[in-house]
Structure 1
């Protein structure tokens, strides 16, 4: 038991260090990954670390895949492929919170909620990273017209398919690791995908969008070309990180409501 915990702790530090060395994480992102790893280990245990690791490893892989082709898209996005502490907290925070709630309550519902939160993060990340490689421009759910790649609130067939597979991966792993019934696996899958859908909806209707005063580019960045940008849509509080966090939280909370009051 003690040897297993020591191995898990060493793994957390090693994975965070590797993420930093491979430039998937900034220094602050690596520190946040350590904190998220410890919170996950405390409640969800080593099996929870496997789920968290599957999300981090696959999302980092897809972020690096055809990175040159995605370079122009990053001009529109608030953050690049290297995750800082806010991005780590946004994607891993809801799951870490569920893990700690399981630690406090010992209610197994929170393990299912934990898995749903990770499935949501994985679904959304796969949709964004793989969907951006679609041959056709995505369709904005706000205007129902073609939009530029990287536009929040826009969807493509490839991105939607990627979201389904991203959620399914975490669901299958959770069923295998925690020996859950297929019914629980389906719940994790559904709420994981729903989390991605909620992320898209919030991105379209509420997330802040800015226009650069220098080059005219519509972007999620509050600063572009060395100048403050002009907000043209949404709430400044609801940046991409906040939207990611809220979508994962809602996926977990929806799972809890379904299981607690069934």
Structure 2
């Protein structure tokens, strides 16, 4: 009876993490943004990230939800541009883990180092913990930038230009092709992810 509420919070946090991770994976499966293996991978990274830190977990959710929404923007045109286009994206485990596994490892390492996952960036008191938090955010900002620029840049009415041959135009969706719309989308992704982490 004398046990404080704070002592129960770690258990409660993992319970909340389990519910949110289940919702993310099931929702992704129903909306076809994930296939079965992708849903299982999303549950794993969601559970670990949210269980270790609500703040870090919300960063993951912001990346996942925003990317899922943009995947559906202009889907009819994307289907015509890409032969292997799948409705909603239907990302598999390999795609999910390539955009989250490294960050999940950083989250685990940060928790081991600090003993608490919800700490703020403070380079003066703990440079290593601050670096790990910045690396975590930077990873998702890069992933979001890549995803946003790909999903929106392919819809640009101006043909992209190849970065290896700056003035050569290439078909939308070509690897290495850049458009103004895609570049702006990438910058916006970084701003949104950073603002989400700081809120």
For 2:13, the equivalent position in structure 1 comes to 4
Q: TM-score normalized by structure 2?
A: 0.82
1:24 aligns with 2:46: no
Residue 81 of structure 1: how far off its partner (Å)? 1.4
CA contact (8 A) 1:98 1:110 kept: yes
Superposition misfits of 4+ residues, deviation over 4 angstroms: 76-80
2:102 and 2:87 map into 1 onto residues whose CA distance is 20
1:210-221 matches, cutoff 5 A: none
CA contact (8 A) 1:76 1:150 kept: no
CA contact (8 A) 2:38 2:93 kept: yes
For 1:85, the equivalent position in structure 2 comes to 93
1:66 aligns with 2:74: yes
1:113 aligns with 2:135: yes
1:168 and 1:74 map into 2 onto residues whose CA distance is 29
Which among 188, 193, 198 is matched to residue 165 of structure 1? 188
CA contact (8 A) 2:17 2:51 kept: no
1:53 and 1:104 map into 2 onto residues whose CA distance is 22
- Give the 3 Å change call, closer, same or farther, for CA 112–60 of structure 1 in structure 2: same
CA contact (8 A) 2:18 2:47 kept: yes
Which among 152, 170, 177 is matched to residue 130 of structure 1? 152
1:148 aligns with 2:159: no
Decide which structure has greater strand share.
Answer: 1
- Aligned partner of residue 133 in structure 2, secondary structure: helix
Residue 77 of structure 1: how far off its partner (Å)? 7.3
Root-mean-square deviation (CA), in Å? 1.9
Pairs aligned (count): 175
CA contact (8 A) 2:20 2:46 kept: no
1:76 and 1:84 map into 2 onto residues whose CA distance is 14
2:195 and 2:31 map into 1 onto residues whose CA distance is 28
1:172-211 matches, cutoff 5 A: 172-176=195-199
Which among 60, 63, 75 is matched to residue 55 of structure 1? 63
Residues 100-109 or 74-83, more deviating: 74-83
1:58 and 1:79 map into 2 onto residues whose CA distance is 16
1:77 and 1:29 map into 2 onto residues whose CA distance is 16
1:108 and 1:9 map into 2 onto residues whose CA distance is 27
